[in-house]
Amino acid sequence: MKGILKSMATTLSTFARKPVTREYPETHKELPERDRAFPVLLWDKEVHEPFCTGCHACERACPVECMTVLMKDNPAHKSVGGESSRRKIIDKFWIDYGRCMRCNICVEVCNFDAITMNNTWEGHEKSVYDRADLVQDLPMLLSEHRSGELKPWVNE
Amino acid sequence: MTNALQPNSNHEFEVQDIMINMGPQHPATHGVFRMVLAVDGEIVRDLIPHIGYMHRGAEKLSETMDFRQGIGFMDRTEYLAQFNAELAYVMAVEKLMDIEVPERAQWIRMILCELNRLSSHFMFTGAFGADAGVFGTSFIYAFRWREEILDLFEEITGDRLMYAYFRPGGLAWEVTDNFVERVHQVLALSRQGIKDVDGLVTNNEIFKARTQGVGVLTKEQAIDWGTTGPVLRASGVAMDVRRDEPYLFYDQVEFDIPVGQNGDVYDRWCLRIEEMRQSVRIVEQCLTKLQPGPIQPERMPRMLRTPPGEVYIRTEAPRGEFGIYMVSKGGNRPHRLKVRSSCFANLQSLRDMSIGQYVADAVLALGSMDIVLCEVDR
Amino acid sequence: MSTLFGLPVALDALIRVLIIVGVMTVVVMGLIYIERKVLARFQQRLGPTRTGPMGLLQSVADALKLVAKEDVRPTNADPWVFELAPFLVFVPTFLGFVVVPFALAWSVRDLDLGLFYILAVSSVNIIGWVMAGWASDNRYAMLGALRAVAQSISYELPLVMALIAVAMVADSLNISEIVRGQAVVPNIVWQPLPFLMFFICMLAEMNRPPFDIPVGESEVVGGPYVEYSGIRWSMFFLAEYASMFIMALLGAAVFLGGSAWPLGEQLGLPWQILLTVVKAGAIIFVVIWTRASFPRLRIDQLMSFSWKLLLPVSFAQIMVNGLILVYDLPYGMSHTLLAVCSAAGVLFVASAINRSVTRPRPRPVLISRSEAAR
């Protein structure tokens, strides 16, 4: 009989505690700094262009081949009258969020610190009605950092 | 195996057993697992398991991944003890390449693996309590306490379930600054959680009546089927890879290995609760021995290339002995990766456990083995 | 038999019927909501919060959903039996409402055989289950129905015996009389064992955990109700909650003093209603508490518990009661004897439960890591 009473005592002690339910979507949990949602590209504010030069390193390293990268000659390079020191710049970039497995390898291999994982709630809330809408193109990938919302975590 | 399905002509009437199919979708089968039971009234006469519903070709895919890309796949092979799976994989690479892992990385790996054992056993208590019929309460308790551990993992690695944090040679990045305090916090909460779950279920007379003497696996049967982990230890065999072939720094910490005497479902429950307590003990000792230092060896090549060779690494996952057999022919990918899955071997003993018992007990026996279908099917 | 406000008998009966239907519907829907909220609190979470303020309209939303569902019927189902089965489960529980007292003079009908009536009427739902299982033309529904019936019949007997024991002490089968007789001391003090048995049997009658094998969610199928959908299924469901309410009221009235203890007669009507509601609420709280805490009993364990333990003990209780009451002892002595014997019975049941599962068995040993391997 003692075991039964002990079970009931345990449930009663839980009854007295405060519920731990968080009512989403009105309240959101505070995401830690290192949270890994989907990858986004970073914007260089000084020269007004992406950091990404289209070197294909992340595309090759991706285990699930979710990226497509095209590079072009940078029209804003110093040799043609601009301010940037990047000879090549990204032309088109697609990431299929439906294939991405968020393994962080693209961030690790990038030589230019041009890609990072989105650590905000917008990175997680990516529900769509059609799977094709999960493919993100270059303006969509740049918008988070460009608008200033993103504070990416940098691994020293 | 098909004898049970023949008509039994010893009786006056012809008696044939009914086949009950507990299909791939069922609240009690812990994932997509199908068992066909041949029952005589309520007694199980034969059990035919069908697996393979979750086969995704993980081993074959790993042959196309280099040694950093494949770590994410190991996570998904065993999704409740991910650090353990990653650990086996990176240990195999380290052994092939003869890499020396820095001390700090080993201690942190040990802490994370034991915390992962805690969270996996919490999940077991939840799921098994739900099987036994404690309407949801043990399930909710288990997940509430497991959340604390997962929150800690999210702070360190960035992800709640698929970490991809270990690398051959050490860790991918340094842990957070408040790591030690956070782990102490999580341990305190886990102690409260173990107390809750223990108090709710273990001494409950109804639970004892349901689980004692049910799903018995004798010592000889357990060894014959190749079971490992809590299933084997509950049957009386004191075998634990952490003690017999210590990896990481398990030979430098003190812990106990619970060994059951009866081999039934109740013993497996008590064993896992005790293992949770021992995990807390191990993590506390590791925290005292953690020193600042590097987490990767000094000269690590950008692209890892292993010399030709083969290696078998075994680790003590929460479910048993998780082993990786890796064959390399030079190059940056494994030529063959074979996962020795603990649940696959344990699942074979389900038939011996369930024959002669009631149908409801077969469900409990399955739950007590704590299978993860991803690991069985890979 | 006086009528309300001196109205003609037929109109008076109609009004009483409408009172029953109205009160019971509201109460049952409220009870479903309360159960979900309280059960959630036992699990450290909130219950329904979104439908209406604090989730109060959740039952209404559920009812609307069930009413709007398609009325599916198996092709080979026996049409009349299939139709009538939910009614046979649903109506008798409502009939039980007739005799339960809310206040000292406030029951729908004050029958002299009140206790007998309520026990008789609440066992009619067994036939409803058999009809449901049979008419469903489904092997598993029949099995589930037979299990439910076996469980119900097994636990009916100790329930009846427990209430008879109390009726012996109170010397009447009229529930209002029993309540009035508890003006000084509630019956639970004299007869704790019948209360324990009443509580356990009440759980079994209502198919509540830990006796919910017939409606077990993780068992093979969902019991006798598996082929019913929509409003027919909701009738079974509501019958369970209605009988929980009725039994809680009955338990409060017969064992806990109902509206008469502590100071019912003196303090008037609102206090009496409050007492009844609080006591019934306490019983319902404990019922939900047991649901949150216990695993399910297997069908053979359930049956042996009833036939081998509860029934002999209940017979023993009646015999002891009879022995004590047949000699006209003074009030103090007879009632103290009753209380002592009954308490001894409770201890006996507790120790029997202990002994049945805690056979000495070797406990797990802890082997230290530093011991030599094998």
Residues of chain B with pLDDT > 90, as a percent, come to 34
Q: Which residues contact B315 (CB under 8 A, 6 or more apart)?
A: B84, B87, B88, B91, B241, B247, B321, B322, B323
| Segment (H or E) for A37 | none
* Residues C293, B260: C-beta atoms closer than 8 Å: no
Q: Residue C95: name the closest of C65, C67, C125 by CA.
A: C125
Q: Rounded CA gap, B264 and C367, in Å?
A: 19
Which of A1, A7, A19 is nearest residue C44 as measured by Cβ atoms? A19
The pLDDT of residue B1: 41
In a domain, B301, yes or no: yes
* Residues A105, B201: C-beta atoms closer than 8 Å: no
Q: Which residues of C touch A19 (CB under 8 A)?
A: 40-41, 44-46
Q: Residue B239: name the closest of B247, B230, B248, B252 by CA.
A: B230
For chain C positions 288-307, those within 8 Å of chain A (CB to CB) are 289-290, 292-294
Each residue's pLDDT tens digit, C293-323: 888 888 888 888 889 989 999 999 999 888 8
Q: Residue A8: name the closest of B206, B188, B267 by CA.
A: B206
* Residues B162, A101: C-beta atoms closer than 8 Å: yes
ipTM, interface predicted TM-score of the complex: 0.88
Which of A3, A63, A119 is nearest residue B65 as measured by Cβ atoms? A63
In a domain, B228, yes or no: yes
Each residue's pLDDT tens digit, C141-151: 787 788 888 88
* Residues B130, C369: C-beta atoms closer than 8 Å: no
Enclosing domain of residue B213: 18-377
The alpha-carbon gap from A14 to the nearest alpha carbon of chain C, in Å, equals 6
Residue C5 has pLDDT above 70, yes or no: no
Tokens at B165, concatenated: 């944090």
* Residues C292, A10: C-beta atoms closer than 8 Å: no
Q: Which residues contact C150 (CB under 8 A, 6 or more apart)?
A: C299, C303
For residues B48 and B56, is the Cβ–Cβ distance under 8 A? Answer: no
The phi, psi pair for C260, rounded to 5°, reads -100, -25
Instruction: Return the minimum-mean-pLDDT range out of B193-207, B253-267, C316-330, C345-359.
Output: C345-359
User: Which residue carries 């890879």 as its tokens?
Assistant: B241
* Residues B254, C44: C-beta atoms closer than 8 Å: no
Radius of gyration of chain B (CA): 22
Q: Which of A7, A10, A11, A15 should we substitute to test contact with C (largest number of C Cβ atoms within 10 Å)? A: A11
Q: Rounded CA gap, A3 and C300, in Å?
A: 21
Q: Which residues contact C358 (CB under 8 A, 6 or more apart)?
A: B205, B208
Each residue's pLDDT tens digit, C93-136: 888 888 888 777 777 778 888 888 988 988 888 888 888 888 87
CB proximity B285 to A under 8 Å: no
Each residue's pLDDT tens digit, C240-267: 888 888 999 899 888 888 887 777 777 7
List the alpha helices (DSSP H) in A1-49.
Answer: 2-15
Chains in contact with B, where contact requires at least 3 CB pairs less than 8 Å apart: A, C
The pLDDT of residue A130: 92
In a domain, B209, yes or no: yes
Q: Which residues contact A21 (CB under 8 A, 6 or more apart)?
A: C45, C46
The alpha-carbon gap from C246 to the nearest alpha carbon of chain A, in Å, equals 24
In a domain, B9, yes or no: no
Residue C39: closest C-alpha in chain B = B137
Q: Which of A5, A12, A15, A27 should we substitute to test contact with C (largest number of C Cβ atoms within 10 Å)? A: A15
Q: Rounded CA gap, C128 and C232, in Å?
A: 12
For residues C238 and C97, is the Cβ–Cβ distance under 8 A? Answer: no
* Residues B209, C301: C-beta atoms closer than 8 Å: yes
Q: Residue B93: name the closest of B110, B117, B69 by CA.
A: B69
Each residue's pLDDT tens digit, B287-322: 999 888 888 888 887 788 889 999 999 999 999 999
Q: Which of B44, B206, B214 should we substitute to test contact with C (largest number of C Cβ atoms within 10 Å)? A: B206
For residues B129 and B139, is the Cβ–Cβ distance under 8 A? Answer: yes
Which of B140, B251, B254 is nearest residue C45 as measured by Cβ atoms? B140
Q: Which residues of C touch B243 (CB under 8 A)?
A: 369, 373
| Segment (H or E) for B322 | strand B320-328
Residue B3 has pLDDT above 50, yes or no: no
Q: Residue C106: name the closest of C331, C275, C259 by CA.
A: C259
* Residues A32, B205: C-beta atoms closer than 8 Å: no
The pLDDT of residue C95: 85
Report the SS3 class of residue B320: strand
Each residue's pLDDT tens digit, A93-128: 999 999 999 988 999 898 888 888 888 888 888 889
Domain count, chain B: 1
B44 has which bridge partners?
B39
The pLDDT of residue A151: 77
* Residues B274, C364: C-beta atoms closer than 8 Å: yes
For residues B114 and B282, is the Cβ–Cβ distance under 8 A? Answer: yes
The alpha-carbon gap from B221 to the nearest alpha carbon of chain A, in Å, equals 32
In a domain, B131, yes or no: yes
* Residues B137, C292: C-beta atoms closer than 8 Å: yes
Residue A12: closest C-alpha in chain C = C42
Residues of chain C with pLDDT > 70, as a percent, come to 94
Q: Rounded CA gap, C57 and C36, in Å?
A: 12
* Residues A10, B159: C-beta atoms closer than 8 Å: no
Cis peptide before C210 (omega within 30 of 0): yes
Task: Indicate the residue type of A149.
Answer: E
The pLDDT of residue B2: 44
In a domain, B2, yes or no: no
In a domain, B10, yes or no: no
Q: HEC states along chain C?
A: CCCHHHCCHHHHHHHHHHHHHHHHHHHHHHHHHHHHHHHHHHCCCCCCCCCCHHHCCHHHHHHHHHHCCCCCCCCCCCHHHHHHHHHHHHHHHHHHHHHCCCECCECCCCCCCHHHHHHHHHCCHHHHHHHHHHHCCCHHHHHHHHHHHHHHHHHHHHHHHHHHHHHHHHCCCCHHHHHHCCCCCCHHHHCHHHHHHHHHHHHHHCCCCCCCHHHCCCCCCCHHHCCCCCHHHHHHHHHHHHHHHHHHHHHHHHCCCCCCCCCHHHHCHHHHHHHHHHHHHHHHHHHHHHHHHCCCCCHHHHHHHHHHHHHHHHHHHHHHHHHHHHCCCCHHHHHHHHHHHHHHHHHHHHHHHHHHHCCCCCCCEEEECCCCCC
In a domain, B11, yes or no: no
Q: Which residues contact C66 (CB under 8 A, 6 or more apart)?
A: C230, C231, C233, C234
Each residue's pLDDT tens digit, C343-352: 888 888 888 8
CB proximity A14 to C under 8 Å: yes
For chain A positions 99-138, those within 8 Å of chain B (CB to CB) are 101-105, 108, 117, 119
Q: Which residues of C touch B137 (CB under 8 A)?
A: 42-43, 292-293
Q: Residue B74: name the closest of B370, B317, B284, B346 by CA.
A: B317
Q: Which residues of A touch C46 (CB under 8 A)?
A: 19, 21, 23
For residues B363 and C218, is the Cβ–Cβ distance under 8 A? Answer: yes
CATH of the domain at B184: 1.10.645.10
Instruction: Return the minimum-mean-pLDDT range out of A17-26, B18-27, B192-201.
Output: B18-27
